[in-house]
Amino acid sequence: MIELHGVTKSVPSGNGTLTILHPLDLTIERGAVAAVTGPSGSGKSTLLGLVAGLDAPTAGRVIIDGVDITTLDEDGLARLRGSRIGFVFQFFHLLPSLTAYENVLVPMEIAGSKDAPARATALLGEVGLSDRGHHYPSQLSGGEQQRVAIARALANDPPLLLADEPTGNLDTATGHAIIELLLGINRVRNTTLVLVTHDPELAARAHVAIALRDGRVVEAVR
């Protein structure tokens, strides 16, 4: 379960402060799908970064499965991200010098996982890329690269998957296939899925829909 209590984010700006997120309270149950929507600049990526522990809130607490992650040091946050959180980005962020298989393997090797080769192979199968493991990112389409990125995000079987506009760089049909893959992962693995999307249809299918505007929740439907 994810709980945000009075979370705010401000940054210094000129001789004042710019508030990116106004006080925010939010609960997302284990296994839920939460869709975050809102115009560009409304604070969606900032919110996801706070949940991932990539960024610290100015005030408030972010609690993931009972652990207040705002109390963790950099090592603690790195361990949390390595073991409990998978992240999928708009622009895939694969390592270009590694094959698809090697990209999936990296987080497992960092975590010291024993059966890494077999699990990397299985994950590539799970995202529909069994026969593409030896290809480099430049040899794969955008949709295929995002599938590799999803397999990599699942490398250490995290209970929480965060996706920031995962279809933002894909055509409509490919984007739909990626969304179905993410929703299937949520169903099969019971992975909590928090995703930023511009797709109102997807937001309507989510268990929780959070609409942001200028750093405030304007609508939360559950």
Ligand X SMILES: Nc1ncnc2c1ncn2[C@@H]1O[C@H](COP(=O)(O)OP(=O)(O)O)[C@@H](O)[C@H]1O
Using CB under 5 A as the criterion, which residues of the chain lie in contact with Mg ion when the complex forms? 44-45
Nearest CA-CA partner of 215 in 36, 29, 3: 36
Token pair belonging to 159: 């209970």
Residues forming a β-bridge with 67: 64
CB 169 to ligand X: min, Å: 14
Tell me which residue has its CB nearest to Mg ion: 45
In this structure, are residues 165 and 197 in contact, taking their beta carbons and an 8 Å threshold? yes
SS3 of residue 171 by DSSP? coil
Query: Nearest approach, Cβ of 212 to ligand X (angstroms)?
Result: 7
Spatial CB neighbours of 218, under 8 Å, sequence gap ≥ 6: 38, 211, 212
Q: CB–CB of 22/213 below 8 Å? A: no
Alpha carbon 171 to its chain centroid, in Å, reads 20
Which partner, ligand X, Mg ion, none, binds residue 172 by CB below 5 to 8 Å per kind? none
Site string for ligand X, 40-69 (x = CB under 6 A): xxxxxxx-----------------------
38 counts as binding ligand X under rule CB under 6 A: yes
| 166 counts as binding ligand X under rule CB under 6 A | no
CB of 191 to ligand X, least distance (A): 22
Residue with tokens 């797709």: 199
Closest to ligand X by CB, 24 vs 116, is 24
Return the one option of ligand X, Mg ion, none that residue 150 interacts with (CB less than 5 to 8 A, by type).
none
Total number of residues binding ligand X (CB under 6 A)?
11
Residue ranges in contact with ligand X by CB under 6 A = 11, 18, 20, 38, 40-46
